[in-house]
Amino acid sequence: MHLLIAAAGSGSRMGADRNKLLLPLLGRPLIAWTVEAALAAVQISWIGIVGQEIDRTNILKAVGTVDKPFVWIQGGSTRQESVLRGLAKLPEGAQYVMIHDGARCLSRPGLFDRCALAVQAGTAVIAATPVTDTIKRVGIDGVIVDTPDRARLWAAQTPQGFEAKQLRQAHAMAEAKGWSVTDDASLYERLQWSVRVLDASPSNIKVTTPFDLVVAEAVLSSRLAK
């Protein structure tokens, strides 16, 4: 299984002066925890990190020496463009691919493996978790429109796994139609291609704000203490 790690973000919502993936988390850059989990996944045989040139040296230094095929890929101006560039750099003959947010540093090796096995069994899949909060749909005027049934709502996460050729087709169609999406599963939804959810842990958060960093530190500390 081939894995693309999206690492071209910034630290704007974190209030940081650098890519948030380079912020310290229990003495190591955040991205190091993400890659460590991916490397420990049995099903992953190749990893590509898609990032910006300004971060290349620091991210590769943070990752260090790895024991699986590992490449750097120049990212684009959006996540969608970055994934498209990553797909173009997959090794010839790559049949399946998973996309993962570099900022999801709490993902476990077992989650990568479960997603990989599901994709190889013939289904596009995303890690997700059932929504527990009551969700309100709100109009542009700030007034509540309705309350969706949360029993049917899931919070999308990564990794997200697909057949590589089909995902390339989806991105090509999105580029032709001018679609802009925030995750790859959204492309499949627009094309009415099926994607299944794989129940993952609520702790599989994407570190975006300073509070998320505090949560990540607490979760990792708990894991390391066991």
Q: Is the pLDDT of residue 112 over 80?
A: yes
* Distance (Å) of CA 81 to CA 22, 41, 119, 185, 191: 22, 26, 23, 15, 18
Mean pLDDT across the stretch 194-209?
94
Instruction: Assign 3-class secondary structure to the chain.
Output: CEEEEECCCCCCCCCCCCCHHHCEECCEEHHHHHHHHHHHCCCCCEEEEEECHHHHHHHHHHHCCCCCCEEEEECCCCHHHHHHHHHHCCCCCCCEEEEEECCCCCCCHHHHHHHHHHHHCCCCEEEEEECCCCCCEECCCCCEEECCCHHHCEEEEEEEEEEHHHHHHHHHHHHHHCCCCCCHHHHHHHCCCCCEEEECCCCCCCCCCHHHHHHHHHHHHHHHHC
Q: Is the pLDDT of residue 13 over 80?
A: no
Mean pLDDT across the stretch 54-72?
94
Give residue 10's pLDDT: 64
Q: How confident is the model at residue 6 (pLDDT cuts 50, 70, 90)?
A: very high
Q: Is the pLDDT of residue 15 over 80?
A: no
- Which among 178, 212, 202 is positioned nearest to 107, based on CA atoms? 202
Count of structural domains within the chain: 1
Mean pLDDT across the stretch 193-219?
95
First to last CA, the chain: 30
Q: Which two tokens stand for residue 21?
A: 């993936």
Q: Which two tokens stand for residue 74?
A: 């120049």
**161: which strand partners?**
98, 125
- Residue 199, domain CATH: 3.90.550.10
Give residue 8's pLDDT: 83
Give residue 226's pLDDT: 75
Give residue 29's pLDDT: 96
Q: Is the pLDDT of residue 221 over 80?
A: yes
Give residue 18's pLDDT: 78
**Residue 148 or residue 13, greater confidence:** 148
Q: How much is the pTM?
A: 0.94
Which residue matches tokens 């900022």? 103
Mean pLDDT across the stretch 93-114?
97
Q: Is the pLDDT of residue 16 over 80?
A: no
CB atoms within 10 A of CB 38: 23
User: What sign does the CA torsion over 42, 128, 107, 105 have?
Assistant: positive
Give residue 128's pLDDT: 97
Mean pLDDT across the stretch 54-70?
94
Give residue 17's pLDDT: 73
Q: How confident is the model at residue 223 (pLDDT cuts 50, 70, 90)?
A: very high
Domain that holds residue 80: 2-225
